[in-house]
Amino acid sequence: MEKRQELFAGKAKSVYATDDPDRLILHFRNDTSAFDGRRVEALERKGQVNNRFNAFIMGKLQEAGIPTHFESLLSDDECVVKNLEMIPVECVVRNIAAGSLVKTLGVEEGQTLTPPTFQLFLKNDELHDPMINESLAETFGWATPEQLAEMKALTFRVNEVLKALFEEGGMLLVDYKLEFGLFHGKIVLGDEFSPDGCRLWDAKTREKLDKDRFRQGLGNVIESYEEVGRRIGVDFG
């Protein structure tokens, strides 16, 4: 596999072409952003930690029959993935109220959500990722009703697999964001699953172990990501 030109540099990862049009290389950088990119800092080891963390989770999801873009680890901070045509919609499942749900609806943080709730957001930094719904996604052609139904079903299947995994490690999976894309017309989970894109609390103390440590200036951000990884069996090399 030959690494070719950089196609895109996002806020946390860079995407490279390869000699295979169906494959890309994702480079996990140390850059960490919050508040729509208004705050950016490089956190030492984050690229490596999230690359390994993501590989581990994608493996677990694949084992559970969820189609993912992940192919193989390439280096400490790079992996090979399927080249997806990304759908510009973020799928969020919440098991416990936190973050924007608390801010926009005025509900109490920490309240268990029964049943877990599902939201769609448009992936658009300039517009601050506004909340959308199936009707808007269909009308504006961001995704078809069939694609949306499949993305929703897969996002809830991920919840069953990962809630149990984190529970075994003494943690609560509060919420998370997934992105999907099309590979030869088929819906496949893309992007990453790491503590950058989910909320994880210690089950006993409810200590925050995810990117909220960065957002809220709590310190020990990467140490917490590593702690989460150790508790679920990620091999950090």
Q: Choose the one of ligand ADP, ligand UDP, none that binds residue 24, judging by a C-beta under 5 to 8 angstroms depending on kind.
A: ligand ADP
Instruction: Tell whether residue 177 is a contact of ligand UDP (CB under 6 A).
Output: yes
Instruction: Tell whether residue 129 is a contact of ligand UDP (CB under 6 A).
Output: yes
Instruction: Tell whether residue 175 is a contact of ligand UDP (CB under 6 A).
Output: yes
Instruction: Tell whether residue 83 is a contact of ligand ADP (CB under 6 A).
Output: yes
Instruction: Tell whether residue 10 is a contact of ligand ADP (CB under 6 A).
Output: yes
From the list 19-27, 41-49, 93-101, 162-170, the region that binds ligand UDP by CB under 6 A is 93-101
* Phi, psi dihedral angles at 222 (to 5 degrees): -70, -35
In whole angstroms, the minimum distance from the beta carbon of 191 to ligand UDP comes to: 9
In whole angstroms, the minimum distance from the beta carbon of 54 to ligand ADP comes to: 10
Secondary structure of residue 187 in the 3-state scheme: strand
Count of residues that bind ligand ADP according to CB under 6 A = 17
E runs forming strands in the chain: 3-9, 13-18, 23-28, 31-34, 39-42, 70-75, 78-82, 85-96, 112-122, 131-132, 171-183, 186-189, 198-202
- Computed over its alpha carbons, how large is the radius of gyration of the chain? 17
Interface with ligand UDP in residues 8-67 (CB under 6 A): none
Instruction: Tell whether residue 190 is a contact of ligand ADP (CB under 6 A).
Output: yes
Quick one: how many helices (H) and strands (E) in the chain? 6, 13
Q: Strand pairing partners for 26? A: 15, 79
